[in-house]
Amino acid sequence: MTYAQAGVDIDAGDRTVDLIKGHLKRTYSPRVLGRHGAFAGCFRLDFNERIFKRNYKDPVLVACTDGVGTKVVLAIEMGVHDTIGQDCVAMNVNDLIVQGAEPLFFLDYVGTHKVQPSHVEQIVKGVADGCQLAGCALIGGETAEMPDVYKKDDYDLAGFAVGVCELSKVVDGQRVEKGDVIIGLASSGAHSNGYTLVRAIIKQAKLDLDKVYPELEDDRPLGLVLLEPTRIYAKQIVSVLGSYKVKKPIGGMAHITGGGLPGNVNRALHGSVNAKINRKAWQTPPLFTFLQKHGNVADDEMLRVFNMGIGYTLIVRPHFADAILDKLRKQGEQAFVLGKITAGTGAVVLS
């Protein structure tokens, strides 16, 4: 009996490694050491030592891991595998930058029923695209063929990111003050949260993933609208943070994922303040109105599950708000003033 007869094709895995080699290499910087296919990826923290010491006197490594949830099921149903990788990168690096970190490198994990080299190559292409948008290197990963765990054609995707931040510039919400301004950055859609509810709405309302719905104000079919990759805010936020060498105008930040605005902005607060957010400060994108209507979902539930059009928030000193808004808009972000910080108990108040 052979391993292939038992369900694991080593040759397909080797072909996959050859196919993805180019995608990894296009994310490399001179700080990446070693060859493709090594047992682990190596990354120099002190490349050009003078530059590193100037930027980081007391460097703190920041790490996180995340996946894309059941959005991957939609990707499988649609047969679209080249965007889900960007989602995976985004869900990780957008968390890193909340702490004030610069993303350094990324690793991915693909678990699948059967390795299909062309599919895995498309997944990793999306990961590499995301890494280039985030300014980090894809230095390794793992593809695991497990027919006893995954159903036919199924796969899952997870990622792991490491970044660096100056100790004195770690953003942890402790400097948030009454009167600070809350800035929101537009999302690119549902990002990678709430897709179990999305798929339940599609099933219950008998929606067609291949149909173009005028209500969405988009010429793409519903399935592709829902697969729009998660926006990556890394380079923009790192640029804004880096433009203030001494002053610290940003007291807190939040990546708006599962839990929506109420369940994420509160993580950027301490116990003596509230975040008061005006729901009329931005227009809810048609996608969320469409899902709410067809799923008969309550307002509170929508706000608790989805980002509702805001993918990232910053809490900044009032004196710097206009300048930071201008910096973000010049980098292509749709930025809104969502509200202000008031005295309180660490809660988010939507009005």
Q: What is the pLDDT of residue 160?
A: 97
pLDDT of residue 53: 64
Backbone phi, psi, residue 215, to 5°: -60, -25
Q: Would you say 265 and 277 are in contact if contact means Cβ atoms under 8 Å apart?
A: yes
Query: What would the pLDDT profile of 239-249 be if each residue is shown by its tens digit?
Result: 999 999 899 99
The 10 Å CB-count burial string (b at 16+, else e) for 301-333 is ebbbbbbbbbbbbbbbbeebbeebbebbeeeeb
CA–CA separation, 232 vs 276, rounded Å?
25
pLDDT of residue 244: 93
Residues 300-320 have a mean pLDDT of 97
> What is the arithmetic mean of pLDDT over 3-28?
76
Q: What is the pLDDT of residue 141?
A: 92
d(CA 108, CA 161): 9
pLDDT at residue 36 tops 80: no
Quickly state the pLDDT bin for 93 (edges 50, 70, 90). very high
* 23: confidence class by pLDDT, cuts 50, 70, 90: confident
pLDDT at site 31: 77
Confidence of residue 49 (pLDDT cuts 50, 70, 90): low
Largest CA distance in the chain: 72
Q: Which residue has the tokens 């008998």?
A: 206
Structural contact between residues 113 and 156, judged by C-beta atoms closer than 8 angstroms = no
Residue 17 burial class via C-beta count within 10 angstroms: exposed 0-12, middle 13-18, buried 19 and up: middle
- Note the helical H segments in the chain: 3-6, 10-25, 49-55, 71-78, 84-98, 117-134, 195-204, 222-226, 234-242, 286-295, 299-305, 321-330
Share of the chain above pLDDT 70, in %: 95
Q: Residue 4 pLDDT > 80, yes or no?
A: no
* Mean pLDDT, residues 177-204: 97
Q: Which pLDDT score is estimated for 91?
A: 97
Architecture field, domain 181-350 = Alpha-Beta Complex (3.90)
Please determine, for residue 47, whether its predicted confidence score (pLDDT) is greater than 90. Answer: no
- Provide the residue count of the chain: 351
The CATH number of domain 3-169, selected from 3.30.1330.10, 3.40.190.10, 3.40.50.980, 3.40.50.1980? 3.30.1330.10
Average pLDDT across the chain, whole number: 93
Per-residue confidence (pLDDT) for residue 37, from 0 to 100: 67
Of the pLDDT bands very low, low, confident and very high (cuts 50, 70, 90), residue 103 is: very high
Query: Tens of pLDDT along 213-252?
Result: 999 999 999 999 999 999 999 999 999 999 998 999 999 9
15 pLDDT more than 90: no
pLDDT at 317: 98
* pTM metric for this prediction: 0.92
Q: Span 80-94, mean pLDDT?
A: 97
CA atoms within 13 A on the CB side of 6: 8
Return the domain boundaries, the chain: 3-169, 181-350
What is the average per-residue pLDDT within 28-34?
A: 79
The answer to whether residues 227 and 80 touch, using CB atoms and an 8 Å cutoff, is: yes
Closest CA to 69 of 273, 226, 298: 226
Whole-angstrom distance, CA of residue 169 vs CA of residue 243: 13
Give the pLDDT confidence of 135-190 residue by residue, as tens digits: 999 999 999 999 999 999 999 999 999 999 999 999 999 999 999 999 999 999 99
Closest alpha carbon to 295 in 192, 191, 202: 202
